[in-house]
Amino acid sequence: MRSLVPPLCLVLSLLLLIAGFILVSIDRPEPTVALHAATAADNEKQRDLLEKQLEHKRFQRRVLIGATFGMSLILGATGFLAMKPSG
């Protein structure tokens, strides 16, 4: 069982790395039609609320990307450290 952990960690690390690049390639959240309408109608309350929601979605995306790459790094390091030296 112990000999299965390093390859499993390395495979999961590679999959997380691929998922991270997929997340980076997806466009970030853009302003919605409702935000543009609130801006055009000069509705400050609605515009502020929608801008905060947009900024929160963008922050969530950055955290998700960072966590994905971070976990990939941690699993890769764990996989290499769990290997027994040959010989």
- The identity of residue 65, as a single letter, is I
Query: Which of 26, 21, 27 shows the shortest CA–CA distance to 68?
Result: 21
Alpha-carbon span 61 to 68, nearest angstrom: 11
Neighbouring CB atoms inside 10 A of 68's CB total 19
For 48-69, how does the pLDDT look when each residue is reduced to its tens digit (9 = 90+)? 999 999 999 999 999 999 999 9
Which residue type, as a one-letter code, is found at position 81?
Answer: L
pLDDT tens readout for residues 25-50: 998 889 889 888 988 998 899 999 99
Residue with tokens 């290997």: 83
Contact partners, residue 56, CB within 8 Å, separation at least 6: none
Q: Is the pTM of this model over 0.85?
A: no
Q: What value does the mean pLDDT take over residues 15-21?
A: 97
